[in-house]
Amino acid sequence: MAVIEVKNLTKVYTVGEIKVHALRGVSLSIDKGEFVAVTGPSGSGKSTFMHIAGCLDRPSSGSYVLDGKDVSKTPKDELAEVRNHKIGFVFQGFNLLTRTSALDNVELPLLYNRDSKTKLKSKERHKRAMGVLEAVNLSNRHHHTPNQLSGGQQQRVAIARALINEPAMILADEPTGNLDTRTSIEVMGIFQRLNREKGITILLITHEMDIAEYGTRLIRFRDGRVVADQKVLHRRDADEELAALPPPEPDDIPPPPADAQVEPTAAH
């Protein structure tokens, strides 16, 4: 069954007198459980497509059926509702609150829920948040703030936050754009695991071909159109690659929490 079904999607941005045709008729369908990588040069319409797919924006024309529901004409406030329940987002810049613990960052989307019937009590929110931190191997860092975590750990917190509402789909826009090679593989390993073990559909945008190869399917954009759509023939396996790499450098080990008591060194 299709999670995303778009037909003849267009998006025109108007900047002063100029019209920018960001999408010029995109039709495609993504099934439940697929891991799709979207690639293409800068300005080809990848982010525009993701914003529409993620119900952050609406198309200028064309249709979009998300998980069986036609959302192309849904009013904005209703779109927010759809988005909160069906989609988790991960961005290049992590978008975490800097003075807030990993646990509180992850719980944040739950606080947006105003529906008294489904609103969780604080104890249940903590439990759920610890569960998703566990899914990204970070439960032992739940009290750390983002500046006490490495880039890869911050991105894992962002992935945990994307998982908190148990979405059917994760949309990730250049999630490894700020990460070194090893950390990128670790993050891709988490996406592969969530996809394999939990069946979460993943739509990943990247301009790096080697990152795209962790997916099962590759869609290439150019000038606002899909110019290629194919199965990934030689899929990379992040866990296998990590096992073959040398252990991480000491730099990757995060500093102790800022409030940690440092023992004074004995005078000689």
Contact residues toward ligand ADP (CB under 6 A) are: 13, 15, 20, 22, 40, 42-48
Closer CB to ligand ADP, residue 13 or residue 256?
13
Decide: 161 and 106 in contact? Cβ < 8 Å. yes
Closer CB to ligand ADP, residue 189 or residue 224?
224
We find the least distance from the C-beta atom of residue 221 to ligand ADP, in angstroms, to be 6
Query: Per rule CB under 5 A, is residue 39 in the interface with Mg ion?
Result: no
Task: Give residue 236's identity as a one-letter amino acid code.
Answer: R
- What Å distances lie between residue 132 and 86, 121, 122, 161, 180, CA to CA? 16, 17, 16, 8, 24
We find the least distance from the C-beta atom of residue 225 to ligand ADP, in angstroms, to be 12
We find the least distance from the C-beta atom of residue 48 to Mg ion, in angstroms, to be 8
Closer CB to ligand ADP, residue 128 or residue 220?
220
Residue nearest to Mg ion according to CB distances in the complex: 47
We find the least distance from the C-beta atom of residue 46 to Mg ion, in angstroms, to be 5
Between the two ends of the chain, the Cα-to-Cα distance in Å is 72
Closer CB to ligand ADP, residue 44 or residue 155?
44
We find the least distance from the C-beta atom of residue 43 to Mg ion, in angstroms, to be 8
Closer CB to ligand ADP, residue 176 or residue 192?
176
We find the least distance from the C-beta atom of residue 255 to Mg ion, in angstroms, to be 32
We find the least distance from the C-beta atom of residue 217 to ligand ADP, in angstroms, to be 18
Identify what 152 binds: Mg ion, ligand ADP, none; CB under 5 to 8 Å per kind.
none
**Whole-angstrom distance, CA of residue 80 vs CA of residue 98:** 24
Decide: 22 and 80 in contact? Cβ < 8 Å. no
Q: Applying CB under 5 A, which of residues 6, 36, 38, 47 lies at the interface with Mg ion?
A: 47
Identify what 253 binds: Mg ion, ligand ADP, none; CB under 5 to 8 Å per kind.
none
Closer CB to ligand ADP, residue 21 or residue 85?
21
Closer CB to ligand ADP, residue 126 or residue 207?
207
Identify what 183 binds: ligand ADP, Mg ion, none; CB under 5 to 8 Å per kind.
none
Site residues (vs Mg ion, CB under 5 A): 46-47
